[in-house]
A and B are shown apart, each in its own frame.
Chain A
Amino acid sequence: MISGITKDHQRFRNIIKGRIRKDLRRFLTRSELIGREGRKAISIPVADIDPPHFRYGDNSDSGVGSGDGKPGDQADTQGDGVAPGGDQEGRHILEVEVSLDELADILGEELQLPRIEPKGRKQITSLKDRYIGIRQTGPESLRHFKRTYRRALRRQIMTGAYDPTNPSIIFERGDKVFRSWKTVMSPQSNAVILYMMDVSGSMGDEQKELVRLEAFWIDAWLRRNYQGIESRYIVHDVRAGEVDRDTFFRIREDGGTRISSAFKAAKDLIENQYVADEWNVYLFHFSDGDNSSESDSRECCNILRDTLLPISNMFGYCQVASAYGSGNFINTLHEHVADEEKLVTSRVNTKDDIYDSIKAFFSAGK
């Protein structure tokens, strides 16, 4: 009897996506989106798409309510009284739910990011047992109660053994049915993202905020491209250590910077836990580029060239602007490792640069 609503709904979603896409640059800078992740969908506000009407303006904010209270008491719940504006649709912001995947798709379309091709030999096949069938024999623990019950009930009704006033159902052997499984092979590509961040004294809250945003979108895009992706986090000043996600974004240390410590830690972690042939490895390093010594920077270049780049799909270096320091590390990288195409660098000075940074990282489709 009902047709068309699915189409209308689809159309509405497309319009919404178009809106988000148009405003993507602005969305990329919204820090309130973060923290809502983890849930499958995030609700984001878009400018109301309802056609404009001639309507009353803001000096109409009074109305009639009912309840207790003396003059001066608060009268609103959410301010959505029956004001003369007759504005029952709420205010002019529409909250829509968009899944992270959809958001990542929009990101990909707008930035014209190619889908990532997992390396061929890294596509391993996993075997999984799925309970998708039914059969007459099996262990009691797999008995399908509902079906068994139905068969028993049917049998009792047919044989006249069923008594509505005393509806007890007793199974017989022939009633019992069991779940059965089938082994399915599913191709799987595994990926790990390793985030490294400089938490030395010169990285302030503002810089961390940029890192958080950038990492959020990197995560969103890579998760869209791989199933079963893992994220690992390393922080460093002069020493490096692995932390959990939460700490990664909140921790604040003082002290100097030795970037090579992080690179070494990354190398250890990957070599020990992620077999290079089976994993797509993504490395991202965020820093303000103020390394302690030029010799350490050069050591970094060596580690990159010799180990990290060969075992990874890409290495993204993102340099955020800081009030202190030279920010020279990016130049050193350009100078010494410029010929490696797996190395991608970008500078993010303000939130607005995130858009271009993401584009720089993923436009190669690796």
Chain B
Amino acid sequence: MSSPSTSSHLTDELAKWRDIIIEYARREELDFYETIFERLDIDQINQVAAYGGFPQRYPHWRFGMAYEKLQRQHRYGLGKIYEMVINNDPCYAYLLNDNALVDQKTVMAHVYGHSDFFKNNIWFSKTNRRMMDEMANHATRVRRYINREGLEQVESFIDTCLSIENLIDPHSVFVMRKPPGGSKPVDSSQSNEPTRYPAKTYMDRYINPPEKLAKERQDRLDAAPGGTNPASPVRDVLLFILENAPLQDWQADILAMIREEAYYFAPQGQTKIMNEGWASYWHSTIMTSYCLRDHELVMYCDHHSGTLATSPGRLNPYKLGIELLRDIERRWNTGRHGIEYDRCEDMEQRRKWQTMDPPTGRVVGRGSPGREKIFEVRATHNDVTFIDAFLTPEFVDDQKLYHYRYDPNTGRMVVVNRDFNKIKQQMLYMLTNHGQPYIYVLDGNYRNRGELYLGHRHNGIDLQIKFAVETLKNLHALWGRPVHIQALIDDDPMLFSYDGKQSTQQRIDKALESPALALN
């Protein structure tokens, strides 16, 4: 293994092309972070990819698992990684060092698209731009805990935390729920800790009698309104646990790290289609307008179309993203937008759409209304709103999208129809919360016994019971008291519980005490 400073910097030729691409990207008004490219061989690329793009992560077997999968993929020729870029300031991106020059150019152009997206998309605005350092810090801290607590101990705790890493609220970073300043004011009247008078250790027993402390603590608990209850259903289950579960310092620190990383990666899940679409749009524009040489054409086309290839039953985010962006650009350049157009239901009329006043100025490329529109879209939308606002029947038709469903008779997926509304609904469905169920904390002191009560907001799809039961066990390991989750299974409200010894499930009825909050 070689260090980046000696071997992985760009060759003169690549550096020259990088500067050319930067110039064209700036000319097209892309606005990106400084981007540092490193050249790695396939094994190094796989290592970095296994770490999610970072050179360092905390020690954990799942990175080893990812690494093995990548290696195997490569060995069997099932595809290799062309580009990898991380959201950081400066941006870091990796080039596979035995790729052909035309590939390297394409990747660099693609990367500047991503870099621009990271910098300007609102959903990334709250991410840590020093994540490279932060990840290295996490690694150091976890290693220290491993040295102190033991590998098995720390590893199994990380496993436990990873089990609930999806229970975050990606929107919460935009909401100021607590006054700034971070830490809670230490006021004994607000916590459940009884008042302690300062005393020397040998006098402590007399000045703060243990019986009195215990009584006071109990009184406080009884008087406290709802104990550790949230004021409204909390989606950031991780935070709730972090603040209320009896964790040791190192455990709390690890949980906080995992939560931080989950929030860091969340926008990438929320904007997969847009992000890849935007980057593909730009590598395509920059390459075909400026940087492609005659002899590179065939290879470029081959690889470009390979990236954008679709296969039955799979939506390619690169393809969907670039086509939808181009569609938006075209529509705004030809006046096919606005309330009149949206309301028009005559397909023929839509096809021949003419606005009263044809657009003036540039009608294609830089400076055109379409181009301005997609710059605006890249700044303000995420995948859900992107599809919701811009998917049109014409587009669905052009892209040959269809809705498919599992056919129990054949055990295969079968095309159901090509109905626009159904397809759009299904896509939004798939993208909402990027395919994760919505889970809320409804009670942190259920039955006044300090039990944790979660609720699943049902929107058409049931929770997977087996996984829910297993996850509850991990939740219990964190919470330390019995845990419950209510969920709608086959239209029946069910309560799944785990009390540390056994898992139970029961139908929710009147006899069962309801949690402090209800899912609206």
Contacts and interface: CB of A to CB of B under 8 A. Distances in A.
Interface in A59-118: 59-77, 79-87, 94, 96-97
Interface stretch (B52-60, B210-218, B500-508): B52-60
Contacts of B64: 5, 7-13
Contacts of B312: 65-67, 69, 74-77
A305 B50 CA distance: 60
Nearest to B456: A54
Contacts of B271: none
Interface stretch (B179-187, B372-380, B468-476): B468-476
A269 interface: no
A57 B490 CA distance: 11
A229 B252 CA distance: 55
Contact of B415 (A5, A10, A71, A85): A71
Interface stretch (A45-53, A128-136, A190-198): A45-53
Contact of A84 (B160, B404, B417, B461): B461
B439 A4 contact: no
A1 B3 CA distance: 5
B403 A62 contact: yes
B276 to A, nearest CB: 13
Interface string B109-125: 00000000000000000
B415 A69 contact: yes
A62 B63 contact: no
Contacts of A49: 65
Given A53-B164, A56-B435, A56-B462, A66 B310 contact: yes
Given A64-B401, A64-B426, A75-B313, A52 B61 contact: no
A173 interface: no
Interface string B308-341: 0011111110010000000000000000000000
Given A54-B456, A63-B430, A73 B415 contact: yes
A296 to B, nearest CB: 53
Interface centre among A70, A79, A86, by most chain B C-beta atoms within 10 angstroms, is A86
Nearest to B464: A57
Nearest to A95: B72
Contacts of A62: 403-406, 416, 426
B67 interface: yes
B423 interface: yes
Interface in B161-179: 162-167
B163 A76 contact: no
Contacts of A9: 64, 67-68
Interface in A1-26: 1-5, 7-13, 15
A24 B307 CA distance: 42
Contact of A65 (B47, B314, B456): B314
Contacts of B72: 97
B67 A51 contact: no
A13 B71 CA distance: 14
Nearest to A41: B72
A74 B410 CA distance: 10
B474 A52 contact: yes
A64 B391 CA distance: 13
Nearest to A9: B64
Nearest to B436: A86
Contacts of B401: 64-66
A73 B414 contact: yes
B166 A54 contact: yes
Contacts of A81: 313-314, 404, 413
A271 to B, nearest CB: 46
A15 B61 contact: yes
Contacts of B465: 57
Contacts of B3: 1
B57 to A, nearest CB: 7
B280 to A, nearest CB: 16
Given A2-B48, A54-B439, A59-B462, A79 B67 contact: no
Interface in B27-71: 44, 47-48, 50-51, 55-57, 59-65, 67-68
A67 to B, nearest CB: 5
A51 B165 CA distance: 10
A96 B467 CA distance: 22
A280 to B, nearest CB: 35
Contacts of A96: 68
A172 interface: no
Contacts of B423: 64
Contact of A86 (B61, B435, B471): B435
B10 interface: no
A53 to B, nearest CB: 5
Given A8-B63, A54-B463, A57-B463, A84 B429 contact: yes
B427 interface: yes
B59 A11 contact: yes
A86 B63 CA distance: 20
A175 to B, nearest CB: 29
A75 B59 CA distance: 40
Contact of A66 (B57, B60, B315): B315
Contacts of A60: 461
A121 interface: no
Contact of A56 (B47, B48, B464): B464
Contacts of A64: 315, 401-404, 423, 426-427, 430
A55 interface: yes
Nearest to B408: A61
Contacts of A82: 314-315, 430
A335 interface: no
A341 interface: no
Given A8-B61, A82-B314, A70 B430 contact: no
A58 interface: yes
Interface string B449-461: 0000000100001
A50 B62 CA distance: 8
Indicate the member of B64, B311, B315, B417 with the most A CB atoms within 10 Å: B64
Nearest to B402: A65
Contacts of A70: 415
Nearest to A15: B61
B230 interface: no
A245 to B, nearest CB: 27
Given A64-B401, A66-B401, A54 B471 contact: yes
Nearest to B2: A1
B399 interface: yes
Contacts of B418: 71
Nearest to A84: B430
B163 A69 contact: no
Contacts of B416: 62, 71
B410 to A, nearest CB: 8
Contact of A79 (B50, B412, B427): B412
Which A-B residue pairs are the 3 nearest by beta carbons?
A86-B435, A12-B64, A61-B406
17 contacts: A1-B1, A1-B44, A2-B44, A8-B61, A11-B155, A51-B160, A52-B471, A55-B166, A56-B435, A61-B405, A64-B423, A68-B400, A71-B418, A75-B404, A82-B314, A94-B65, A96-B68
Given A1-B1, A2-B55, 8 more contacts: A2-B44, A4-B139, A51-B162, A56-B462, A58-B464, A76-B404, A79-B413, A87-B435
Interface of B: 1-4, 8, 44, 47-48, 50-51, 55-57, 59-65, 67-68, 72, 139, 155, 159-160, 162-167, 310-316, 319, 399-406, 410, 412-418, 423, 426-427, 429-430, 434-437, 439, 456, 461-465, 467-468, 470-471, 474, 485
